[in-house]
Structure 1
Amino acid sequence: MADIVPISRAPRPAPPRQSDPEPLWRHLLGEQLRRRRHDREETLTETAEKAGVSPQYLSEVERGRKEPSSEMIAAIAGALDTSLIELTSAVADELRAASTPASAVVSAARGAFTLAA
């Protein structure tokens, strides 16, 4: 009987690495809502009651599983004693920070120092 000899294969090149995709709006919104609710030391049930939504729905929004309507976002923002503009501005700021490459931040910082000198 013949011996089986393994054939060595050249390692496959790794697929080209793509940059991380931009975070979704609903994920950043959910994180922002959860952070604000925790800052107020409220439970899901307490905030949901104030907003007029179910705790399950609020949980899904906070986890980025639901794409809430503007009316729902406004209701939840109101329950957290914040305005829709404050909430959306905070989410937009996070989105900008998450999508700005580190090299652009360093370049911008160098430019600022150059102008100040």
Structure 2
Amino acid sequence: MTPEPLWRHLLGDQLRSIRHRRGDTLEETARRAGISPQYLSEIERGRKEPSSEMIAAVAGALGLTLAELIRAVAGNLRGPTCRAGYALAA
């Protein structure tokens, strides 16, 4: 069985995809979000676990609400998602 992807990887992939569709550079999006281009790059590559405030800032910089971004990321999840929750609670 293939393990489910990590949230930070799905988030990063989605942010990069949206940014590319908009035709924005890392620098433009990072400036609007109030973060460094290097940090945004690390988020997009799934290397950083950003805070909810940071995620909201990047979503806003891409013209999205936090809810829209979360729905887009959640749409990329495969299989039952509750297994991990039960495993963590055990």
Identical-residue share of aligned pairs (%)? 69
- Encode CA deviations 1:37-79: one digit per residue, 9 max, x unaligned: 0011011001000000000000000000000000000000000
Residue matched to 2:85 = none
More helix by share: 2
Residue matched to 1:78 = 60
CA apart distance, 1:87:
0.3
- One-letter amino acid matched to 2:71: S
| 2-structure distance, mates of 1:99, 1:90 | 16
Residue matched to 2:79 = 99
The match for 2:33 among 21, 34, 51 is 51
Runs of 4+ in 1 over 6 A off after TM superposition: none
| 2-structure distance, mates of 1:23, 1:83 | 23
| 1-structure distance, mates of 2:58, 2:67 | 13
Residue matched to 2:15 = 33
Scaled by the length of structure 1, what TM-score is found?
A: 0.67
CA apart distance, 1:20:
1.2
Task: Calculate the aligned-residue CA RMSD, in Å.
Answer: 0.9
- One-letter amino acid matched to 2:31: E
Any idea what SS the aligned residue of 1:99 has?
coil
Any idea what SS the aligned residue of 2:76 has?
helix
Point out which structure has higher relative CO (alpha carbons under 8 A, 6+ apart): 2
Aligned pair 1:65/2:47, yes or no?
yes
| 1-structure distance, mates of 2:18, 2:72 | 11
Scaled by the length of structure 2, what TM-score is found?
A: 0.86
Q: Which runs of 5+ in 2 are unaligned?
A: 81-90
